[in-house]
């Protein structure tokens, strides 16, 4: 990191900073300009001492130079990570996988009906929530373990790996029995106990960026999972919160090339939440494929006006089937494939 | 709620909306203009059906009219809630309480030393973190239960109620044995299992607004706690995330009068995190008192450059003592008191 | 608009609102629930009285129902506007036009050299700034009229229409002599005198969204131009300001389908500013084509490290030529064409 | 500035950066770590070359070290600037000045009536808009020069200096004849021709921060005015745009201590726009005084429900009179005075 000292600091204060750097086992690199003195402290884990230098009165500002995450970085692993899920599905290779299904598992019928619809249209992974994070304590909170049994059975019947969200350490354990991919939702992006639990089990994890999470923080949260020994982590952009209120969130597609540069982990995109308006989900899905997504996660519901959650952004079966064909064309135009 | 239909919808579609309202037991109020048809659906819990109307193709937009929280609202309880903590401390009455101490409990010496400093200066509640949420898995994560024993002992010695943060359901149980107030941090504002756990025990809860949480969502998260039977909840504004990067967060003082209008719960402000720069914390603390805070939470450290967390925003002992006197003057100017 | 009254207002206050609506020539639609009274006021230009109702003490909240712009709306004109620029270029039809060139016109050589490069690669419109809005008064501010002569001559030689930015009313007049499209920059999105001046002349206008402009405000700013008689307006998304700091701005591609729904005006996208990092501009450009752009505006510079402005986001000639071929594939995949 | 090179760059590329620094007349300070090479380039105006280094492929990131503005900085002028307006009013000294009046000058009667009200309550400067920036082209745009004559006459009668907003270069000239302070509004914060025009005339200027303007950019915009020779500039925080929608804007009071540290210019705060809700303006005004404002600008209207602009945030005469007394108490608590 680079430590910029305040204008007019005394030599004694400069020395205190230098001595502290040395005492931590690093070599200080001092550069003096006419008005400004800067001191470089470069080396593994140097950034971890940022706070204690910033707390010194002589210090004006500190710029981080080295990345605070390691296992998630391209420097640590140059080639793209390809995650082997069950039933031959590999995420991060040429094929772009579409994870589709209802927002919430509302009934056995809905789960099986929607599974058939999305399988027929070309989706390769089945989604459905058994535990639903809801802003209001009075809203539908999910079927719980019963729902997990339905999605497991539907996955079995239609030969699709499944994904569902865990909101607590106990749910991680439960989900790892029933599902093939464990989703950590946007609201839990900095629920560190949950991240660690996801890192201690073996199933692949889909980690959703929080609505105010920076790219750097997303990678740090991934690092929590990786550092526990589970390297099968996908990152998911699903919209960030901005001033714009004509859409539910603002989908940050800029983050895709930036992440692809910084990390070897696969990137999944969620245009259903990212824009939140059914008639526009398909258009954004095309942009997601063009920008380099390794997978999409999409909400589909045969009767959205009866859905217990996220009806307004759920695609109708016909819309979804038509969209899959359009997405495949875009995928081919960028050297990938979907169908 | 008010349902605005799309321009040019057919009568059949209008009727479908009307029938759905009736089938749910509400009375539809239809208003037709030249181009626009709007339908009012007013009554208890009407807003809970918002999604399922929004999912209908004929619907252009829905405006919520009624508040989605109940127990937290002024309509439910008109008078300010006054929370009785231990040792005679009451939060929400005329006296503004200052909660002070180190960010993290680093050692017994630090805890006792800082307790004496803040007690002597006029603080009435002792803070200190035993479990620390850190962006990086490689940063100091707190002393755990050992730390809780130190803060409990320091509170005992200096006759101060104590506050510390819980990051998981298990920690809520642990904390409720050692501390007088349980803090739910900004990162866990929508960790619903944690909110419910905090609601099921008896100790007062300080709930921190997340960095991208709206005022409405903050009240909904409080409702999670209240709905479990614990009515002793304080809300804490600690800075939101915006484009401005010259400060750690942007402190949203607007939220204070807005919250005071909407809810009966006491409001605590955290200028240490809200601005994140030691030399400016005191100035913001004065604004916090002037705007109507019922309490402040402040980080104080005798040697910030050695702090394991948040050194750059921790006040020095002398700064803190001087500030307390200045704050008392501002408090008196707005009809409150601190010392 | 829908006027929600405060809980517990007296009948006298309700009547005052009703009388005011009637006095303005509208018919009030009153709906009374158990706790809440709402009054609809629907009709042309009703929204224009919003402030004066909001200022009444009995009023809790007002929801706008009708769009505050007219000429820019799909209701006013159902079919897409196709703008005829000079030299046979039509914007808003099947072909996606790429506007390319240096950020600033730095010299005659640069202008002609870059024009040849972008023309050869397939760009159809030539860009270059003669007047540069710079955050710092000490930065290069552009060559002024001399620059305009260079771009006009380059456009003539390579048979390309040209676009350049006007920052003041006088510059609008000057530019309308030399260029084919007049750009209003993001910083001037609410410079109403400038918008009116652009509306009073005949050349097509490219209006860039400001970094904190909502979709609604963008359309209102377009309305300023349209209302002066100039209907040839393109809207340009070029990134909004959010908390994310790993990119220069956050490109809001969600806005494209939303705008396409609300307005008949063509949409241009600017990934150069939208992400601000050369190596990622091409990836975002593909997403821009997939999401439905009618045109792209891209910065190209033969020697970015010598550029007087925006070097870090300017594409190299080879990058640009390769990108144009890739973009054409994506365009065809979504039923459009570029080359 | 500090130039961080990409991991794994070749010595040849390192040399190219070093040579470029030397060729510009600076001395490079090279620090090599195991993985990272950083090069310091420190000296007057070094930051101005940032773009051209950032455009080099070997460069990963550049941190600015020195401030890009000069005349506005504390380094340039250590003591607070005290601006002498007419009629003995000095802004930036112990007394906090309150600028009050209607949002728009709607009639002679309103202007004189409101002037008497605010003068009697203790305001020392009279505000009123003759040219109104309105999002919609169909909204009231102000009385123009006729309005300026009314405010000049009212200022004369009640012995108050006056302030009004200029939206164009011509209006700056007009205003400098009729008013004592020229306001540049938030929408024109980067209208550089306007800033220069304000800098070329002699009257003091109040410069409002834009809704997405950083503190650094605000100071750069002030620098545009200062660099033309007019040193009498006040900076005004009036709310920034964030995700929070329960208030019109989010007032950034953090910016006050930060600006006071960086610049010698007086700081004015505008809680009327900053929160946008009449009943909360007074509470925020107290926070503004406590945080160190040198002045407040407040909207007052005898009949807000008839106001042609900003009625919902205008204070009633009685509210304003009561508030002034309360503000004086807070001012005295922080060593200032209002009445």
ipTM of the complex: 0.94
pLDDT 10s digits, B189-240: 999 999 999 999 999 999 999 999 999 999 999 999 999 999 999 999 999 9
User: Residue A334: its pLDDT value, please?
Assistant: 98
* B223/C196 Cα distance (integer angstroms): 50
User: Residue D139: its pLDDT value, please?
Assistant: 82
The overall average pLDDT reported for chain B is 94
Question: Which residues in C lie closer than 8 A to residue B29 (C-beta atoms)?
Answer: 29, 31, 38
Q: Inspect the interface and report whether the beta carbons of A7 and D75 lie closer than 8 Å.
A: yes
CB C256 within 8 A of CB C292: yes
Phi/psi class of residue A208: alpha, beta or left (left: φ > 0; alpha: ψ in -120 to 50)? beta
A12 Cβ neighbours under 8 A, 6+ residues apart: none
User: Residue C163: its pLDDT value, please?
Assistant: 98
- List all residues of chain D from 161 to 180 with a beta carbon under 8 Å from chain C: 167-169
Total Cβ atoms within 10 A of residue A1: 22
Phi/psi class of residue D292: alpha, beta or left (left: φ > 0; alpha: ψ in -120 to 50)? left
With an 8 Å Cβ cutoff, is C57 touching chain B? no
* Partners of residue C165 on adjacent β-strands: C183
Question: Based on C-alpha coordinates, what's the Rg of chain B?
Answer: 23
In this structure, the answer to whether residues B170 and B128 fall within a common structural domain is yes
Structural domain span for residue C44: 2-63
Q: Count Cβ–Cβ pairs < 8 Å, chain B vs chain C.
A: 61
User: Residue A267: its pLDDT value, please?
Assistant: 98
In this structure, the answer to whether residues A14 and A103 fall within a common structural domain is no
Domain membership flag for residue C76? no
| Distance of residue B87 Cα from the nearest chain A Cα, in angstroms | 33
pLDDT reading at B249 higher than 90: yes
Closest CA to B213 of B196, B238, B195, B192: B238
Q: How many domains does one find in chain D? A: 2
| Distance of residue C9 Cα from the nearest chain A Cα, in angstroms | 28
Domain membership flag for residue D75? no
Closest CA to A164 of A129, A201, A115: A129
In this structure, the answer to whether residues C211 and C242 fall within a common structural domain is yes
Collapsing DSSP to helix, strand or coil, D77 comes out as coil
In this structure, the answer to whether residues D191 and D223 fall within a common structural domain is yes
In this structure, the answer to whether residues B204 and B149 fall within a common structural domain is yes
Closest CA to C141 of C117, C115, C116, C171: C171
Domain membership flag for residue B76? no
Collapsing DSSP to helix, strand or coil, A64 comes out as coil
CB D308 within 8 A of CB D274: no
Q: Which two tokens stand for residue B243?
A: 């484009």
Question: Which residues in B lie closer than 8 A to residue D280 (C-beta atoms)?
Answer: 254, 257-258, 261
Question: Which residues in D lie closer than 8 A to residue C104 (C-beta atoms)?
Answer: none
- List all residues of chain D from 262 to 281 with a beta carbon under 8 Å from chain B: 274-275, 277, 279-280
With an 8 Å Cβ cutoff, is A217 touching chain B? yes
Q: Give pLDDT tens digits along chain D (339 positions).
A: 889 898 889 999 999 999 999 999 998 888 887 778 889 888 878 888 888 899 898 998 888 878 889 999 999 999 999 999 999 999 999 999 999 999 999 999 999 999 999 999 999 999 999 998 888 888 888 999 999 999 999 999 999 999 999 999 999 999 999 999 999 999 999 999 999 999 999 999 999 999 999 999 999 999 999 999 999 999 999 999 999 999 999 999 999 999 999 999 999 999 999 999 999 999 999 999 999 999 999 999 999 988 888 888 999 999 999 999 999 999 999 999 999
* B122/C154 Cα distance (integer angstroms): 74
Q: Which two tokens stand for residue C197?
A: 């001046």
* D296/D185 Cα distance (integer angstroms): 15
* C17/C50 Cα distance (integer angstroms): 12
In this structure, the answer to whether residues B228 and B318 fall within a common structural domain is yes
* C305/D59 Cα distance (integer angstroms): 11
CATH number of the domain enclosing B55: 3.30.70.1140
CB D302 within 8 A of CB D113: yes
User: Residue D299: its pLDDT value, please?
Assistant: 97
Question: Which residues in D lie closer than 8 A to residue A44 (C-beta atoms)?
Answer: 34
Domain membership flag for residue A78? no
Q: Tell me how far CA of residue C167 lies from CA of A235, C220, D218, in angstroms.
A: 42, 19, 19
In this structure, the answer to whether residues C200 and C232 fall within a common structural domain is yes
Domain membership flag for residue C70? no
Question: Which residues in B lie closer than 8 A to residue A51 (C-beta atoms)?
Answer: 307, 309-312
Question: Which residues in C lie closer than 8 A to residue D217 (C-beta atoms)?
Answer: 135
With an 8 Å Cβ cutoff, is C13 touching chain D? no
With an 8 Å Cβ cutoff, is C40 touching chain B? yes
With an 8 Å Cβ cutoff, is B83 touching chain A? no
Q: Inspect the interface and report whether the beta carbons of A212 and B217 lie closer than 8 Å.
A: no
Question: Which residues in D lie closer than 8 A to residue A40 (C-beta atoms)?
Answer: 31, 33, 38, 40
With an 8 Å Cβ cutoff, is D318 touching chain C? no
B contact chains, 3+ CB pairs < 8 A:
A, C, D
Q: Which chain D residue lies closest to A36 (C-alpha atoms)?
A: D42
Q: Tell me how far CA of residue A127 lies from CA of A239, B60, D3, D7, D159, in angstroms.
A: 19, 28, 46, 40, 72
* C50/C42 Cα distance (integer angstroms): 12
**A192 vs D8, which has greater pLDDT?**
A192
Among D254, D284, D286, D331, pick the best mutation site for testing chain B contact (most B Cβ within 10 A). D254
Q: Inspect the interface and report whether the beta carbons of D192 and C139 lie closer than 8 Å.
A: no
With an 8 Å Cβ cutoff, is D253 touching chain B? yes
* C97/C112 Cα distance (integer angstroms): 20
pLDDT 10s digits, A279-305: 999 999 999 999 999 999 999 999 998
With an 8 Å Cβ cutoff, is D242 touching chain A? yes
User: Residue A226: its pLDDT value, please?
Assistant: 97
pLDDT reading at A34 higher than 80: no
Q: Which of A169, A192, A241 sits opposite B133 (nearest CB)?
A: A192
With an 8 Å Cβ cutoff, is B261 touching chain C? no
Q: Which two tokens stand for residue B98?
A: 């200052």
* D231/B187 Cα distance (integer angstroms): 45
Q: Count Cβ–Cβ pairs < 8 Å, chain A vs chain D.
A: 59
Mean pLDDT over B138-161 rounds to: 95
| Residue D165, CB-side half-sphere exposure with 13 Å CA sphere | 25
CATH number of the domain enclosing B199: 3.20.20.70
In this structure, the answer to whether residues C124 and C16 fall within a common structural domain is no
User: Residue D133: its pLDDT value, please?
Assistant: 86
Collapsing DSSP to helix, strand or coil, A104 comes out as strand
User: Residue A131: its pLDDT value, please?
Assistant: 94
CB C107 within 8 A of CB C99: no
Distance of CA C145 to the CA centre of its chain: 24
C contact chains, 3+ CB pairs < 8 A:
A, B, D
C326 Cβ neighbours under 8 A, 6+ residues apart: A334, C282, C286
Percent of the residues in chain B that have a pLDDT greater than 70, as a whole number: 100
Question: Which residues in B lie closer than 8 A to residue D279 (C-beta atoms)?
Answer: 257, 261
Mean pLDDT over B131-155 rounds to: 92
In this structure, the answer to whether residues D94 and D59 fall within a common structural domain is no
CB D130 within 8 A of CB D110: no
Handedness of CA A212, A214, A215, A218 (dihedral sign): negative
Closest CA to A276 of A101, A98, A103: A103
- List all residues of chain B from 175 to 204 with a beta carbon under 8 Å from chain A: 187-188, 190-193
User: Residue C303: its pLDDT value, please?
Assistant: 92
pLDDT 10s digits, C32-41: 877 788 898 8
User: Residue D211: its pLDDT value, please?
Assistant: 97
With an 8 Å Cβ cutoff, is C310 touching chain D? yes
Domain membership flag for residue A72? no
In this structure, the answer to whether residues D165 and D293 fall within a common structural domain is yes
pLDDT 10s digits, B261-300: 999 999 999 999 999 999 999 999 999 999 999 999 999 9
User: Residue B226: its pLDDT value, please?
Assistant: 97
In this structure, the answer to whether residues A250 and A128 fall within a common structural domain is yes
* Partners of residue B131 on adjacent β-strands: none
CB B199 within 8 A of CB B165: no
Closest CA to D133 of D176, D206, D186: D186
With an 8 Å Cβ cutoff, is C4 touching chain D? no
Mean pLDDT over A46-60 rounds to: 88
Q: Tell me how far CA of residue D326 lies from CA of B336, D292, D332, in angstroms.
A: 13, 16, 10
Question: Which residues in D lie closer than 8 A to residue B252 (C-beta atoms)?
Answer: 242, 244, 250-251
Domain membership flag for residue D236? yes
Domain membership flag for residue D70? no
* C190/D134 Cα distance (integer angstroms): 8
The overall average pLDDT reported for chain A is 94
Residues with pLDDT less than 50, chain C: none
| Distance of residue C327 Cα from the nearest chain A Cα, in angstroms | 9
pLDDT reading at A308 higher than 90: no
* D81/D79 Cα distance (integer angstroms): 6
User: What are the strands of the beta sheet with D59-63, ordered from one edge?
Assistant: D28-32, D37-41, D2-5, D59-63
Of A17-26, A269-278, B81-90, the least confident:
A17-26
The residue out of B14, B32, B63 marking a domain boundary is B63
User: What are the strands of the beta sheet with A37-41, ordered from one edge?
Assistant: A28-32, A37-41, A2-5, A59-63
In this structure, the answer to whether residues B150 and B264 fall within a common structural domain is yes
Of A193-197, B169-173, C40-44, D145-149, the least confident:
C40-44
With an 8 Å Cβ cutoff, is C52 touching chain D? yes
């Amino acid at each position: 990191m680079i430590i910029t000292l305040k204008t007019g600091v005394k030599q004694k204060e400069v020395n205190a900073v230098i001595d502290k750097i040395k005492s931590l086992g690093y070599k200080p690199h001092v550069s003096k300009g006419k008005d400004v003195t800067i001191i470089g402290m470069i080396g593994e884990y140097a950034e971890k001492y940022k706070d204690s230098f910033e707390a010194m009165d002589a210090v004006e500002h500190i710029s981080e130079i080295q990345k605070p995450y390691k296992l998630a970085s391209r420097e640590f692993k140059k080639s793209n990570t390809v995650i082997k899920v069950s039933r031959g599905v590999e995420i991060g290779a040429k094929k772009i996988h579409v994870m589709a299904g209802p927002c919430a598992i509302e009934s056995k019928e809905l789960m099986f009906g929607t599974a058939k619809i999305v399988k027929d249209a070309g989706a390769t992974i089945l989604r459905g929530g058994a535990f639903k994070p809801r802003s209001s304590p009075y809203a539908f909170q999910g079927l719980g373990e019963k729902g997990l049994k339905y999605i497991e059975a539907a996955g079995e019947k239609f030969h699709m790996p499944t994904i569902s969200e865990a909101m607590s350490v106990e749910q991680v354990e439960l989900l790892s029995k029933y599902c093939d991919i464990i989703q950590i939702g946007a609201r839990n992006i900095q629920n560190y106990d949950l991240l660690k639990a996801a890192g201690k089990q073996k199933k692949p994890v889909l980690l959703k960026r929080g609505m105010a999470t920076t790219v750097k923080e997303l990678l740090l949260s991934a690092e929590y999972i990786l550092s526990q020994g589970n390297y099968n982590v996908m990152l998911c952009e699903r919209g960030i919160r901005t001033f714009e209120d004509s859409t539910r969130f603002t989908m940050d597609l800029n983050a895709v090339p930036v992440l692809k540069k910084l990390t070897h982990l696969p990137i999944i995109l969620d245009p259903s939440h990212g824009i939140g308006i059914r008639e526009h989900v398909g258009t954004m899905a095309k942009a997601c494929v063009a920008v380099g997504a390794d997978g999409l996660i999409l909400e589909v519901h045969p009767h959205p006006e009866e859905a217990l959650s996220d009806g307004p952004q759920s695609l109708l079966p016909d819309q979804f089937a038509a969209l899959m064909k359009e997405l495949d064309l875009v995928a081919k135009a960028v050297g990938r494939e979907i169908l």
